[in-house]
């Protein structure tokens, strides 16, 4: 594998692992503030980031040993208003810079597996951002979000609200590969 794409997979694994971790801790904070649906949202999206991290990690199965991941992450936890702002900032960075750039370089270097892994993640980050923005609007006025079941595809991390589709629109996985958070 070409070294620059390889480093991007390493960085993306680091970024997704840290997003997963932040959202688990942000979920606990939301629960403390009695925003039960915001807590559920953080936990569902934490699970999507876990799937993303796993996909990138498997693309690196040819490696054997230690490498330094250089991963942007959002720091400075607080109440749920602050945490949602950090979550939105993190998703925005992934949508506007990280994944478009990593996809472009993977294409340029002909690294199809990495390209697919980046594209799969990229496809769900946009909905993550929208969901967090909806939550921030409510929490800004002291209310919990109204939220239907959140479904996460176990293969690619695609995330949606409502019923699971017959096939994942991103990776094609069947309906039973969706894990509901309700």
Chain positions contacting a second copy, by CB under 8 A:
10, 13-14, 16-18, 20-22, 24-25, 50, 53-54, 57-58, 60-78, 82, 86, 89-90, 93
55, 87, 128, 178: which one binds Fe ion (CB under 5 A): 128
Residue pair 102/118 in contact (Cβ under 8 Å)? The answer is yes
> What number of chain residues touch Fe ion (CB under 5 A)?
14
Closer residue to a second copy (CB): 40 or 47 = 47
Contact between 173 and Fe ion (CB under 5 A)? yes
Burial grade of 168 (CB within 10 A; 0-12, 13-18, 19 or more)? buried
Give which of Fe ion, a second copy, none residue 173 binds (C-beta under 5 to 8 Å, depending on kind): Fe ion
Contact between 20 and Fe ion (CB under 5 A)? no
Closer residue to a second copy (CB): 22 or 177 = 22
Host H or E run for residue 151: strand 150-153
CA distance 132 to 163: 19
Residue with tokens 């403390």: 32
Closer residue to Fe ion (CB): 34 or 48 = 48
Minimum CB separation of residue 113 from a second copy in Å reads: 14
CA distance 7 to 25: 27
Sheet holding 159-161, edge to edge: 159-161, 150-153, 178-181
- Taking residues 45 to 84 in sequence order and writing x for each that binds Fe ion by CB under 5 A, - otherwise, the string is ----x--x--------------------------------
User: Is residue 20 helix, strand or coil?
Assistant: helix
Give just the sign of the alpha carbon dihedral 92, 94, 102, 100. negative
**Contacts with Fe ion, residue ranges (CB under 5 A):** 16, 49, 52, 121, 125, 128, 153, 155-156, 158, 168, 170-171, 173
């Amino acid at each position: 594998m070409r070294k620059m794409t390889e480093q991007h997979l390493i960085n993306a694994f680091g970024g997704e692992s840290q997003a997963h971790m932040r959202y688990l801790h942000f979920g606990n904070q939301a629960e403390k503030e009695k925003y039960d649906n915001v807590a559920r949202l953080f936990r569902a999206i934490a699970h999507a980031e876990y799937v993303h991290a796993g996909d990138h990690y498997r693309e690196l199965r040819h490696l054997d040993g230690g490498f330094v991941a250089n991963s942007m992450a959002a720091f400075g936890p607080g109440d749920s208003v602050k945490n949602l702002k950090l979550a939105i900032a993190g998703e925005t960075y992934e949508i506007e810079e990280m994944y478009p750039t990593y996809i472009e370089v993977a294409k340029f270097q002909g690294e199809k597996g990495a390209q697919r892994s980046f594209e799969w993640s990229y496809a769900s980050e946009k909905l993550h951002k929208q969901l967090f923005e909806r939550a921030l609007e409510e929490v800004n006025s002291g209310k919990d979000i109204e939220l239907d079941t959140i479904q996460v595809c176990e293969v690619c991390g695609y995330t949606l609200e409502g019923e699971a589709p017959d096939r994942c629109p991103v990776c094609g996985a069947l309906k039973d590969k969706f894990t509901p958070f309700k």
